[in-house]
Amino acid sequence: MIEAKNPHRAISTHHRQAHLKKFGEYRDKLLAKTATIDQHAEAAARACGVDTARDWTVVPLFVTPDVNPAAFISDPVVPFTSITTLATILTASDAPAVGWNTANIAN
């Protein structure tokens, strides 16, 4: 379950705090969407025209244009990556780790 965000860069302390709070709200929504899709993974796959003769793993993922500070809080809960590394993340054999992910992951 991918949530794409293009946030404004936070420069001041106040803006960074607001940015992190907003991403907390986005994270909660992403986790709720992921849970819903996970409960109906085969139906979601069929709706996308994909063969469902397999077990599906539904993973939340934030995609941003560049490194996002929300990926580096003490407990980010969900994986993050940039649009430039998305293809690598999606084709990796392992699910992305919680926090920031780069193209340098094991396949």
Q: Where are the domains of the chain?
A: 2-100
Q: What is the model's pLDDT at position 106?
A: 47
Closest to 72 measured CA to CA, from 30, 26, 20: 20
Question: What average pLDDT score do residues 4-8 get?
Answer: 76
Model confidence at 8: pLDDT above 70:
no
pLDDT per residue over 22-66, tens digit each? Answer: 888 999 999 999 999 999 999 999 999 987 678 888 999 999 988
CB atoms within 10 A of CB 67: 12
Distance CA 5, CA 49 (A): 26
Which DSSP category does 75 fall into? -
For the chain, percent helix, then strand, then coil, each to nearest 5? 45, 10, 45
Between 68 and 96, name the one with better pLDDT.
96
- Quick one: pLDDT at residue 11? 67
What is the per-residue pLDDT for 9? 65
Choice among 2-6, 46-50, 90-94 with the minimum mean pLDDT: 2-6
Residue whose C-alpha is closest to residue 82's, from 107, 96, 38, 51: 96
State the pLDDT at residue 107: 41
More confident residue, 14 or 96: 96
Express as a percent the part of the chain with pLDDT over 70. 90
